[in-house]
Amino acid sequence: MMPRGFLPLLAIVAATGIVALDWETEGFRVVTSAGARQLSIERTPRLLPDVPLVDQDGHAFSLSSYKGRPVLVDFIYTRCPTLCGVLGDDFHGVLQLTGGAAAGAPLDLLSISFDPENDDREALQFYGDRYGARAPRWRIATPADDRGLAALKQSFGVIIIPDGLGGFIHNSAVYLLDAQGRLARILDPDSPPRLFAEALRVAAP
Amino acid sequence: MRIALESDMAVHMMVQVPLLIGIGLLLASGVRPYEPRWLTDADWLGIPGIVAVVLGTSFWMLPRALDGAVADPLVDVAKFLSLPLLVGLPLGLCWRRMPPLGRAFIWANFIPKIGAIGGLYLAAPTRLCAYYRLDQQAAAGWTLIVVAVVLGTLWFIAAFVGWPAHGRRQFSPAAPSWPAQWTPPRP
């Protein structure tokens, strides 16, 4: 015979635990913080701060100057041996798909270095040349000041940890900004056609 | 202290978390003489208690939860409170009420689960946590597998060879030796 308090206690414990798990996994959909961020941005595009940047040709511009067209953004540092190369390849592919450096292209590309101390203009140009990047279609830029860098890291959700070998590990992703300049999608480094397709999907009203 | 125990994934999962649960177990042994009657009755066969333990450990094993604890001190405080009070304490109180088969069920699920999660950490091509590197993830995976193998071996010994238990000085197997003690069911 079951004691009287058994079912109520079990119900309370099970309900509390399941609600907590449901909350933490966004309805049993994600287990990682990266997955949670992707889901959250997809539901609610996020407005971004207007951060001043300087590109590989030394031109100053700001994040808001991209309004009107979707932009694919990634975060790199030029000394990166691995993941930033994958991102560079992806962006190169998208650049080729969308008509190269010619005007009238449907989207722009922006690679932001989070290591402005080591990534001077020469380093940015070197990175850009390696992947065929040309301003203004594909800018390789650094934030103009530390405050801008912090604002970028915070609003994009970029988490950077030292890799123990003098470099950095970061949650490398491709960030898609819509035509209103809002962060609309966070994508895994993927094939250029898929990235391009996502950008078009977001651009279509 | 926080940095020492959370800067490495394996240490965070296999040292800090068990320590916090251990604090709860100590609390349980201290609180047991004062346990209210309604709780002893309601925690029938230890089932609500063990459900709390399973759900609580599942929560803090999520990569997102580990990331949250590293990123936000408030989340870490939640972990420091919930693991002793909502996992360790119920575990200490409910275990004695669980029948042998119930305890066996828990071990039989927990140990392979630990090993499987360790294997997943090793097999995952990307980082699961934003605050831990891939090599730390692999080390955590191996640690989980080793813990699973050790616990599994100890459990096997307890079941088939014997383990000195409370009040007993001799080794005696938890499982009856077969077929000597097995009697066929009456038709």
Residue B168 lies in a domain: no
Residue B178 lies in a domain: no
d(CA A111, CA B120): 32
A36 and B64 within 8 Å at the Cβ level: the answer is yes
Smallest CA–CA distance, residue A5 to chain B, in Å, is 4
Helices within chain B (DSSP H only): 2-6, 9-11, 17-31, 37-42, 47-61, 63-71, 73-82, 89-94, 100-123, 134-160
Three-state secondary structure call for residue A162:
strand
Which parts of chain A sit beneath pLDDT 70? 101-104, 205
Query: Which domain, by its residues, includes B8?
Result: 2-160
Domains of chain A from N-terminus onward: 6-42 (no CATH), 47-203 (3.40.30.10)
Three-state secondary structure call for residue B36:
coil
Question: What separation in angstroms does the CA of B175 have from each of A3, B27, B103?
Answer: 29, 31, 13
**Which is it for strands A60-62 and A52-55: parallel, antiparallel or unpaired?**
antiparallel
Residue B172 lies in a domain: no
Residue B184 lies in a domain: no
Decide if B117 touches A, using CB distance below 8 A. no
Residue B182 lies in a domain: no
**Which is it for strands A174-177 and A71-76: parallel, antiparallel or unpaired?**
antiparallel
ipTM of this predicted structure? 0.82
Closest Cβ opposite residue A21 in set B44, B59, B132: B59
Give me the number of domains chain B comprises: 1
The pLDDT score that the predictor gives to residue A76 is 92
A31 and B55 within 8 Å at the Cβ level: the answer is no
User: Chain-wide mean pLDDT for chain B?
Assistant: 87
In tens, the pLDDT along A142-175 reads 999 999 999 999 999 999 988 888 888 888 889 9
Decide if A65 touches B, using CB distance below 8 A. no
Mean pLDDT for the stretch of residues B58-83 = 93
Decide if A6 touches B, using CB distance below 8 A. yes
Closest Cβ opposite residue B62 in set A6, A9, A24: A24
Residue B186 lies in a domain: no
Interacting residues of B171 by C-beta distance below 8 A, sequence separation 6+: B161, B162, B163, B164
pTM over 0.90: no
